[in-house]
A and B are shown apart, each in its own frame.
Chain A
Amino acid sequence: VQLVESGGGLVQPGKSLKLSCSASGFTFSSYGMHWIRQAPGKGLDWVAYISSSSGTVYADAVKGRFTISRDNAKNTLYLQLNSLKSEDTAIYYCATTLFDYWGQGVMVTVSS
């Protein structure tokens, strides 16, 4: 199993960014997936989940601003981040359904 995140970077407050998580080594379409974030020096903060049938759940802190989606043909998970705030600055990880496999993470920095 391999999960590789991409798309992070420095972005101004109020702007948008789209993260990707490329999956391999398992039948991606059969599994739900999570996004989790970790602010610098802080603990783990669950962000969103998408089921194998594309049902979604969000943390209150990101509801209405972030959108999780998937493309099973490309074995890729996405997180669209809109209306970004400084408190969204974190490493963003994708992980499998039971948090049994995690990617290496991608840094998102929101600053002017």
Chain B
Amino acid sequence: DVVMTQTPVSLSVSLGGQVSISCRSSQSLVHNNGNTYLSWYLQKPGQSPQLLIYKVSNRFSGISDRFSGSGSGTDFTLKISRVEPDDLGVYYCGQGTQYPRTFGGGTKLELK
């Protein structure tokens, strides 16, 4: 199974600030078709997860350009700029390259 490791586990940020979350996979996430199926999700308190970024760097419909994804192979990063109150919650990375699908342990973003 592909193990997804996220760091840090928690993050404190001031409103308007910028943060980065790292996600590393135990195996390359490059699919046989050449695509890299690494996604980022945000789970706000009491809600179900929502897709932010797919295939490393593509923002999902309606997602602010304050969210950006980058990386390749086994190392990936989510950056959030100009943090707003609605950005708070737990962020997860997830891989869709092979089964079983796996997710990182989560990074909790809190206000400083």
Contacts and interface: CB of A to CB of B under 8 A. Distances in A.
Given A43-B92, A44-B92, A44-B94, A102 B49 contact: yes
Contacts of A60: 100
- Judged by DSSP, the binding face of A is loop
Contacts of B41: 44, 99
Interface in A31-70: 34, 43-46, 49, 57, 59-60
B25 interface: no
Contacts of B48: 93, 102-105
Nearest to A59: B100
Contacts of A98: 39, 51, 54, 96
Interface of A: 34, 43-46, 49, 57, 59-60, 93, 98-105
6 contacts: A43-B92, A43-B104, A57-B99, A99-B96, A103-B48, A105-B48
